[in-house]
A and B are shown apart, each in its own frame.
Chain A
Amino acid sequence: QKEVEQNSGPLSVPEGAIASLNCTYSDRGSQSFFWYRQYSGKSPELIMSIYSNGDKEDGRFTAQLNKASQYVSLLIRDSQPSDSATYLCAVNPVTYKYIFGTGTRLKVLA
């Protein structure tokens, strides 16, 4: 079992729809959770961080964390073609290092 699992996709959604990206992790002691967006050939860009159970909203993005189920998700409302990218889930166990999933490729269709 991988430490952080994501569906590789591609996840295709029409413009204006809600994109839902999911991530599960195996280390129950994990404390911090992050979503990065990566365009092809570019650096991973931090878009959301979440540290406690529940929802955290920032503009069109909502991160959801459920530690009991070891599950973190990212919702993108009103999806735009410019949101087409690979979304990486990163989990921070008790040490400083991040454990990454392989990423989910999102395609927003105009």
Chain B
Amino acid sequence: EAGVTQFPSHSVIEKGQTVTLRCDPISGHDNLYWYRRVMGKEIKFLLHFVKESKQDESGMPNNRFLAERTGGTYSTLKVQPAELEDSGVYFCASSQEIAGGYEQYFGPGTRLTVT
């Protein structure tokens, strides 16, 4: 079974440019999450989809970030315009509900560098 995949693995852009990150969850997982880790800090939650619906976007930093999950399959996270503080590693995770919990499986991450 394929795991969570993310593209690209690394992106370097200039401040003010736009970047779109993509995540393909594990097949059959309805829940999809985006997280971000900035240097020296813990991994922080950004948002959660159930199928194509946003369930919780409380962690999104501001309106420069837009996440979509059309058709309930893959998801994209767009940053427009990018700022220096957006640099970090963006992780995607997916889960399906199991009794008592939601074990999340993480992708390899996209390292975003804004210069």
Q: Does B100 contact A (CB under 8 A)?
A: yes
In the complex, how many residues of chain A place their beta carbon closer than 8 angstroms to a beta carbon of chain B? 25
CA distance A32 to B101 in the complex (A): 6
Q: Does A71 contact B (CB under 8 A)?
A: no
B residues 54-86 in Cβ contact with A at 8 Å = 55-56, 58-59
Let me know if B45 and A97 touch, CB within 8 A: yes
In the complex, how many residues of chain B place their beta carbon closer than 8 angstroms to a beta carbon of chain A? 26
Let me know if A97 and B33 touch, CB within 8 A: yes
A residues 42-69 in Cβ contact with B at 8 Å = 42-46, 49, 51
CA distance A97 to B56 in the complex (A): 9
- A residues less than 8 Å from B58 (CB atoms): 97
Q: Does A31 contact B (CB under 8 A)?
A: yes
CA distance A71 to B110 in the complex (A): 32
Residues of B within 8 A of A (CB): 4, 31, 33, 35, 41-45, 48, 55-56, 58-59, 91, 95, 100-109
Residues of A within 8 A of B (CB): 2, 4, 31-32, 34, 36, 42-46, 49, 51, 88, 90, 92, 95-103
